[in-house]
């Protein structure tokens, strides 16, 4: 959670901080602040609120001629959003910004308080600053003090640090939380992720666990835990500054919904071989591997977990591999009994979600093979999993995931096809039909759904008048309903529940009253009749029903109801079309309500706390 950035070089550091922080805002936006060296003194300007509030504060308290600075945008964990809890925090000679959580901060705080430290904030970060300062007071060596303090801290952290008396130098360290080091024409940078640095450079190095960095205008040195110094091995990102901008759309979420057809093609095509068959060799996964998989445990959070539920249907129906899905934060504390031949698949757009990472580590510790489906390259989850499949959705900036989820589902579909094919459950022709449908029918179906903006708008106009909404569906459509409800809730703040269509009558239907909006998803031909009965049940109790339904219905829908028809060129096309519709409905609803669509309240994009 939280975004951090740092710079040292020949240019003015302040505009760089502001630009980088505005990109990093998706990681948290409760408060924002910078610390910059001005005439060899460190000056801090910080406040509750977003980047605009900091800009205003800087007009009153300008920082002139600084070439070395660190910055932070916060998602509050320890201590509410306030000026005093905003980062950077300074104790003695140490000023720092932090992403992560210091789990033993209470003990550390107590022992530092005994030594006379008076804390100004409720944060664990200030404790970290005090601890490093305490170590620095003894050793007088910044790197040694960071190393010593890191050993005493439990939890996850990435720090950007300025030391009084070290002009032009930024220090950093990471454990658990992500941190990128980068080299530009006019200096060196650190940041929580590369998107923040795209306006300045493409050359980066993803810091490894416990590596300490010492940056000066002339270079960046990495210090390993044993004290050895190494030069970074620079890599070049393929991302462009445009990929992290809105490109004419009013919101990142809308842009990202529209990017889905291309993102699916990018995610699927490298996994189709010259014969048109599913093939993950380019990911280092040979067909023989799939034959060893006897059962699958999918672990993820939020929407990624919902993508896992789509995967479950496919892996069981198509590949006939027993599969279950766990919420990552539950998995560790009640791990299922996994038989020989199990594979744990973790799914994460950001590649940094703490709960998912913990589940991955648990699986590895217990000797279970792991596979990660990740979007953000070179992230911790991608690095630590035994095998990884990237989704190639490109940077996802809106807090609510759309193209991330969509590409996760498409990759899971490819995995199910690969297993089904290598184990002989489907023949070449069937496997080719699936790859073709994912590569051609799905993007076309999404494109088609993107033209129905007016229809989504009309549905949204009704939803905004209600406090409670239901999505219902069976089978795959129940999985889609869960994602639909989450999307609507998180960006429009309207309470929405997803129900298995047949389950509603076992209690929850008592909440349905005249006018209650019920959106029914029906992508599966075989379940049409049953779902229709459930729709009748709610309709007869006065519910306002919206149908998101296959375009090959045997009987035409009631003209009184709103109907979104889904193309049926293939099974996958229908599912991805429904997905696009539910995303767009959530978007239009939040837009009408004037919500902050890309930055919903209380949320952050990358959840690096457990
Ligand atoms: C909802 C959403 C979240 C994420 C979840 C996992 O729109 O984006 O529910 O899906 O926090 O995040 P990742 O995929 O980064 O592990």
Cα–Cα distance for residue pair 255/481, rounded to 1 Å? 22
Rounded to 5°, angle at Cα 98 from 92 and 104: 85
Ligand 1: nearest atom to the Cα of 303: 10
| Closest C-alpha residue for ligand 1 atom 9 | 302
Based on the domain organization, do 265 and 345 belong to the same domain? yes
Is residue 605 annotated as part of the catalytic site, yes or no? Answer: yes
The per-residue pLDDT for 242 is 75
Are 49 and 110 contained in the same domain? yes
- Look at residues 441, 475, 490 and tell me which one is the last residue of a structural domain: 441
d(CA 325, CA 309): 6
Tell whether 257 and 133 lie within a shared domain: no
Assess whether 374 and 493 both reside in one domain. no
Residue 603: what pLDDT? 83
Coil, strand or helix at 132: helix
Distance 497 CA to ligand 1 centre (A): 18
- Res 559: pLDDT: 63
| Domain assignment present for 315 | yes
- 517 and 408 together in one domain: no
Query: 387 lies in a domain?
Result: yes
pLDDT given for residue 498 in this prediction:
97
Per-residue confidence (pLDDT) for residue 557, from 0 to 100: 66
Give residue 155's pLDDT: 85
Which of 394, 421, 441 is the C-terminal boundary of a domain? 441
- pTM metric for this prediction: 0.82
Q: Are residues 145 and 75 in the same domain?
A: yes
Q: Examine the domain organization and report whether 91 and 54 are in the same domain.
A: yes
The CATH number covering residue 418 comes to 3.40.50.10490
Does 539 lie in the same domain as 408? Answer: no
State whether residue 364 is helix, strand or coil: helix
Domain tally for the chain?
Answer: 3
- 3-state SS record for 534-588: HHHHHHCCCCEEEEEEECCCCCCCCCCCEEEEECCCCHHHHHHHHHHHHHHHHHH
Same domain, 282 and 418: yes
Task: Answer yes or no: do 24 and 140 share one domain.
Answer: yes
Which neighbouring-strand residues pair with 157? 100, 176
Domain CATH code at residue 107: 3.60.20.10
Is 408 within a domain? yes
Question: Does residue 408 sit in the same domain as residue 480?
Answer: no
In sequence order, which residues have a C-beta less than 8 Å from that of residue 71 and are 6 or more positions away? 4, 5, 6, 17, 18, 20, 21, 32, 33, 34, 35, 88, 97, 160
Of 128, 130, 106, 108, the closest CA to residue 118 belongs to 130
The residue count of the chain comes to 610
Q: Are residues 434 and 463 in the same domain?
A: no
Q: Is the CB of 353 under 6 A from ligand 1?
A: yes
Judge whether 609 lies within some domain: no
- Asked if 84 is an active-site residue, the reply is no
Per the domain annotation, does 496 fall within a domain?
yes
Does residue 447 form part of some domain? no
- Domain-located, residue 437: yes
Spans of the chain below 70 pLDDT: 1, 556-557, 559-560, 608-610
Pocket test for ligand 1, best of 304, 331, 487 (most atoms within 8 A of CB): 304
State which of 1, 75, 195, 302 you would mutate to test the pocket of ligand 1, scoring each by most atoms of that ligand within 8 A of its C-beta.
Answer: 302
Q: Check if 25 has its Cβ closer than 6 Å to any atom of ligand 1.
A: no
C-beta of 42 in contact with ligand 1 (< 6 A)? no
Q: How far is the CA of 602 from the centre of ligand 1 (A)?
A: 14
Residue nearest to atom 16 of ligand 1 (CA): 348
Q: Which atom of ligand 1 is the closest one to the Cα of 606?
A: 15
Domain residues for 91?
3-240
Q: Of the candidates 240, 260, 278, which is a domain's last residue? A: 240
Examine residue 608 and state whether it is found in any structural domain, yes or no: no
Distance CA 583, CA 452 (A): 12
């Amino acid at each position: 959670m939280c975004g951090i950035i740092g710079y040292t070089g020949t240019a003015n550091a302040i505009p760089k901080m502001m630009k980088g922080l505005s990109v990093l805002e998706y990681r948290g936006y409760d408060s924002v602040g910078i610390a910059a060296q001005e005439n060899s003194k460190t000056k801090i300007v910080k406040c509750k609120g977003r980047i605009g509030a900091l800009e205003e504060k800087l007009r009153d308290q300008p920082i002139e001629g600084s070439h070395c600075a660190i910055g932070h945008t916060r998602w509050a964990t320890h201590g509410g959003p306030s000026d005093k809890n905003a980062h950077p925090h300074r104790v003695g000679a140490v000023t720092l910004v932090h992403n992560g959580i210091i789990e033993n901060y209470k003990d550390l705080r107590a022992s530092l308080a005994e030594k006379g430290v008076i804390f100004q904030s409720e944060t664990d970060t200030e404790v970290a600053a005090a601890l490093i300062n305490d170590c620095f007071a003894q050793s007088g060596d910044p790197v040694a003090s960071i190393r010593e303090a890191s050993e005493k801290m439990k939890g996850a952290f990435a720090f950007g640090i300025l030391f009084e008396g070290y002009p032009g130098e930024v220090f950093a360290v990471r454990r658990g939380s992500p941190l990128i080091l980068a080299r530009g024409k006019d200096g060196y940078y650190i940041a929580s992720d590369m998107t923040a640095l795209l306006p300045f450079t493409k050359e980066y190095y993803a810091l490894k666990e416990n590596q300490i960095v010492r940056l000066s205008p002339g270079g960046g040195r990495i210090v390993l835990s044993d004290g050895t110094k190494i030069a970074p091995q620079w890599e070049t990102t393929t991302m462009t500054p445009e990929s992290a901008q809105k490109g004419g759309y009013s919101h990142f979420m809308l842009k990202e919904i529209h990017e889905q057809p291309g993102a699916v093609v990018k995610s699927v095509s490298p996994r189709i071989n010259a014969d048109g068959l599913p093939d993950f060799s380019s990911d280092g996964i040979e067909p023989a591997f799939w034959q060893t998989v006897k059962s699958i445990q999918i672990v993820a959070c939020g929407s990624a977990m919902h993508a896992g539920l789509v995967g479950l249907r496919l892996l069981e129906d198509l590949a006939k591999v027993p599969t279950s899905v766990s919420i990552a934060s539950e998995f560790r504390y009640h791990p299922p009994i996994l038989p020989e031949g199990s594979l744990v698949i973790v799914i994460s757009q950001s590649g940094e979600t703490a709960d998912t990472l913990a589940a991955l580590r648990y699986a590895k510790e217990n000797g279970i093979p792991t596979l990660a489906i990740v979007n953000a390259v070179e992230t911790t989850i991608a690095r630590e999993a035994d095998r990884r499949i990237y989704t190639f959705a490109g940077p996802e900036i809106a807090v609510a995931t759309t193209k991330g989820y969509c590409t996760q589902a498409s990759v899971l579909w490819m995995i199910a096809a690969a297993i089904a094919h290598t184990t002989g459950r489907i023949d070449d022709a069937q496997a080719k039909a699936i790859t073709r449908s994912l590569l051609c029918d799905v993007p076309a179906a999404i494109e088609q759904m993107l033209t129905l903006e007016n229809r989504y708008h009309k549905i949204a106009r009704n939803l905004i008048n209600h406090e409670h909404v239901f999505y219902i569906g069976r089978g795959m459509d129940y999985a889609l309903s869960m994602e639909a409800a989450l999307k609507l809730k998180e960006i429009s703040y309207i309470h929405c529940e997803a129900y298995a269509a047949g389950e509603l009558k076992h209690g929850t239907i008592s909440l349905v009253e005249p006018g209650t909006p019920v959106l029914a998803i029906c992508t599966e031909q075989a379940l049409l009749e049953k779902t229709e009965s459930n729709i009748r049940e709610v309709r007869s109790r006065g519910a306002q029903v919206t149908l998101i339904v296959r375009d090959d219905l045997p009987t035409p829908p009631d003209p009184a109801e709103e109907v979104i028809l889904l193309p049926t060129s293939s099974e996958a096309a229908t599912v991805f079309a429904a997905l696009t519709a539910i995303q767009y409905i959530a978007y239009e609803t939040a837009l009408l309500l004037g919500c902050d669509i890309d930055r919903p309240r209380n949320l952050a994009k990358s959840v690096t706390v457990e």
